[in-house]
Structure 1
Amino acid sequence: MRKIKIINGNIITPYRIITNGTVLISGDHIELISEKDIAAPGYEVIDAKGYYVSPGFIDIHIHGGGGHDFMDGTEEAYLKIAEVHAMYGTTAMAPTTLTCAREDLLKAVDLYRSANSKNIKGAQFIGMHLEGPYFALSQSGAQDPRYIRNPDVEEYREIIAYGADVIKRWSVAPELPGAIEMGKYLRANGIIAAIAHTDAIYEEVLEAVENGYSLATHLYSAMSGVTRRNTYRYAGVIESAFLIDAMDVEIIADGIHLPPPLLKLVYKIKGPDRIALITDAMRGAGMPEGESVLGNKDTGLKVIIENGVAIMADRSSFAGSVATADRLIRTMVRMADIPLVEAVRMLSKSPATMMGVESEKGSLAAGKDADILIFDDNINIKITMIKGTVVYTSTDFA
């Protein structure tokens, strides 16, 4: 069993930083976190050189990266996306689909299973996130409108039965006919029911939360705010997420989808334990700017990557993020003035709790998976370790 000792690190816990602490790792688990140097004969030593030692980042909403998309329909895409994002600090992720045909969802389940068994160099898969196809057409965003439809009870029950071991989350517009019953069914099957691409008003959101929905997918993006109907104003999903304390939210913290004032507002109202930072990254993450494709490389939507974000070809709206996890932390700390400890918590402990893997991942504690990062003051990743194995080391860290 491989044994590793990390020394000279500023260790980030969920609530504080341990200066010049020590981490002991046995095999694939953390053995000990200490404020002092611990004698450990026979352990391989990694000198953190005064940098931060952090829990690995957990991305619960991600579509692609490195020129690949989970909708490409290949095992290679799954593996390469996991490897690329590990370079930027992601140690666990929830591969996310797009609105598509039933057959494509079933194929995605098969590919998840086969790729998961071979994924030894990239971020671990912690369950699939199905984003669509049950959305409000008026809030389609960059989702392909050809496949948007109302919940089909026979369809979603078949898909859940087929992928019961891997489907952990499903994003749905709760105001659609049949969506409330679907929320109940998802919860009964241990699947997170999330609200997304929706024009729901507060009363509809409240009913949804009472019937299983617990998470707002990419808050502010493709969802209703205050609307006026026949003179009267109605609170939308955004206001509902703020009002309902029990709702979790995720935010695309690239500094573009949400500018700093909105990042600060979400943080102020919801607090770090109810927020998950997500990349929502498409294939352009980690790639040069220019033309790209959202979704399947052959049949997806043509988009343009410029100024650090993907936009529709007609420049009418955003078409996805090209963020990596390290960028999310930089944005929250530098642009939104969030303490580093809490920014890291929103990309580790909080998403781990939402996904139900907090007993294994999300924080540096004895007994948990040795998913560990070393990064500098600029959140440049120096080392990525997944379950005790170093899968990435930067060229300037030897």
Structure 2
Amino acid sequence: MENVVITNGQIITPDSIIPKGSVVLKGNTIVSVHEGNVEISNARVINAEGHYVSPGFIDIHVHGGGGFDFMDGSVESFLKIAQLHARYGTTAMVPTTLTSEKESLLDILEVYKEATNRNMMGAEFLGIHLEGPYFSMNQRGSQDAKYIRDPDPKEYTEILKRSDRIVRWSVAPERKGALELGQFLKEKGVLAAIAHTDAIYEEVVEAVEHGYSLSTHLYSGMSGVTRKNGFRYAGVIESSLLMDELDVEIIADGVHLPAPLLKLVYKVKGPHKIALITDAMRAAGTLSKESILGNAQTGQKVIIEDGVAKLPDRSAFAGSVSTADRLVRTMVQMADVSLLDAVIMMSTTPARIMGVSHKKGSIAKGKDADLVIFDKDIQVQSTIVGGTQIYGI
């Protein structure tokens, strides 16, 4: 196993930034972190040239990039998406599906297995995230209405039996059978998340009691305060901000949420309860002005403008075109968040949410050698996944 020393870097640790430090890697593991430079015989040296050395970014909700979407159902798509996002600092990701028929989901699960075995030069796959099809019709956004339905125990048990790599499932908890699904997911060790939902506070409380612990892309595709017969009811947005039991994820591209809402979420929840996500679709990392959300042959046509994907009639956003570095920049530059906290939200917190914090999410002895080097403008200079430098020089 090769020894690698990263020297002359500003090392972002869980608690502080070492102004001039070094990180020593052996194989795919971090073996030590130092103040100042160190010399290791027979080690390959990477000079960070005064740039920041950060734990690799972890994107727990991503659909595509580089002209590909996971719903394309091909190994090539999986590999190209992983490579594209690694270019921008993502070292681990959770590939995410869209609402579809059962057969399509089962096919994607089979493709995931093969892609995982061949993924040598991209962000590591942490498992599959099923987004839908059990959603509120009113809050579906760009999700295809013809596939939206109530949870069916026969269907979801079959899907879960087909793969042990489903690590997350996003559901509208007010749908008939959704509470039972949440409890089932919890028992199976699968993260149950609240998404595309019209639930009110009382229904969210029930959902949490039945195993739901994460709010999917906060503010997007979910209810806020509503009135019935003159009375106000808190929606999922307010419930997510209020309840300590719920982690939240936000699409911090500066478009889905403007600066005041980014600041509000940060002020209320704090960096250890927020995961930054790209929710990126296939146009991420490209210059495309038109694209397809979902499967390249059967998906929804979208337009790209104002730094975001939109439905052609501009009635709703249709996913982001962000990469992880943009999220960190946005939180620092628009939301006035410290770089340390922005990195926590892009690495440490998502690692905890996905249950991999014992090996990922921070620069510390014994953790996976997943690192990203970026400059003062948060432009990625180098990405290292499992000790292998897959981008940069």
TM over 0.5: same fold?
yes
Aligned residue identity for 1:365: A
Aligned residue identity for 2:235: G
1:132-171 deviations in Å (ceiling 9; x for gaps): 00000010101000100011111001101111x2000000
**What is the match of residue 233 of structure 1?**
232
**What is the match of residue 199 of structure 1?**
198
1:66-92 deviations in Å (ceiling 9; x for gaps): 000000011100000000000000000
Q: Provide the C-alpha distance between the structure 2 equivalents of 1:391 and 1:232, rounded to a whole number of angstroms.
A: 56
In the TM superposition, what is the alpha-carbon distance from 1:246 to its structure 2 partner?
1.2
**What is the match of residue 76 of structure 1?**
76
**What is the match of residue 60 of structure 1?**
60
Q: Is the 8 A contact 2:8 2:36 kept in 1?
A: no
**What is the match of residue 123 of structure 1?**
123
Aligned residue identity for 2:15: Y
Structure 1 SS opposite 2:349: helix
**What is the match of residue 299 of structure 2?**
300
Q: Provide the C-alpha distance between the structure 2 equivalents of 1:278 and 1:14, rounded to a whole number of angstroms.
A: 20
Q: Provide the C-alpha distance between the structure 2 equivalents of 1:103 and 1:205, rounded to a whole number of angstroms.
A: 30
Aligned residue identity for 2:30: I
Q: Is the 8 A contact 1:15 1:342 kept in 2?
A: no
In the TM superposition, what is the alpha-carbon distance from 1:289 to its structure 2 partner?
3.3
Q: Provide the C-alpha distance between the structure 2 equivalents of 1:191 and 1:278, rounded to a whole number of angstroms.
A: 19
Alignment of 1:41-56 (within 5 A): 41-56=41-56
In the TM superposition, what is the alpha-carbon distance from 1:38 to its structure 2 partner?
2.4
**What is the match of residue 323 of structure 2?**
324
**What is the match of residue 38 of structure 2?**
38
1:93 has 2:93 as partner: yes
Structure 2 SS opposite 1:24: strand
**What is the match of residue 382 of structure 2?**
383
Q: Is the 8 A contact 1:289 1:306 kept in 2?
A: no
1:306-344 deviations in Å (ceiling 9; x for gaps): 121000011111011000000000000000000000000
Q: Is the 8 A contact 2:97 2:130 kept in 1?
A: yes
Give every structure 1 segment of 4 or more consecutive aligned residues whose post-TM-superposition deviation is greater than 4 Å.
none
Q: Provide the C-alpha distance between the structure 1 equivalents of 2:178 and 2:334, rounded to a whole number of angstroms.
A: 37
Q: Is the 8 A contact 1:68 1:283 kept in 2?
A: yes
Aligned residue identity for 1:370: A
Aligned residue identity for 2:165: V
**What is the match of residue 241 of structure 2?**
242
Q: Provide the C-alpha distance between the structure 2 equivalents of 1:42 and 1:203, rounded to a whole number of angstroms.
A: 61
**What is the match of residue 372 of structure 1?**
371
List alignment gaps of at least 5 residues for structure 2: none
List alignment gaps of at least 5 residues for structure 1: none
Q: Is the 8 A contact 2:133 2:148 kept in 1?
A: yes
Aligned residue identity for 1:42: N
Aligned residue identity for 1:255: G
Aligned residue identity for 1:247: L
1:178 has 2:177 as partner: yes
**What is the match of residue 157 of structure 1?**
157
**What is the match of residue 2 of structure 1?**
2
In the TM superposition, what is the alpha-carbon distance from 1:36 to its structure 2 partner?
2.7
Aligned residue identity for 1:69: D
1:261 has 2:275 as partner: no
In the TM superposition, what is the alpha-carbon distance from 1:41 to its structure 2 partner?
1.2
Q: Provide the C-alpha distance between the structure 1 equivalents of 2:202 and 2:330, rounded to a whole number of angstroms.
A: 33
In the TM superposition, what is the alpha-carbon distance from 1:230 to its structure 2 partner?
1.2
Q: Provide the C-alpha distance between the structure 1 equivalents of 2:309 and 2:241, rounded to a whole number of angstroms.
A: 27
Give TM-score scaled by structure 1 length.
0.98
Coordinate RMSD, CA, aligned: 0.6
Give TM-score scaled by structure 2 length.
0.99
Aligned residue identity for 2:9: G
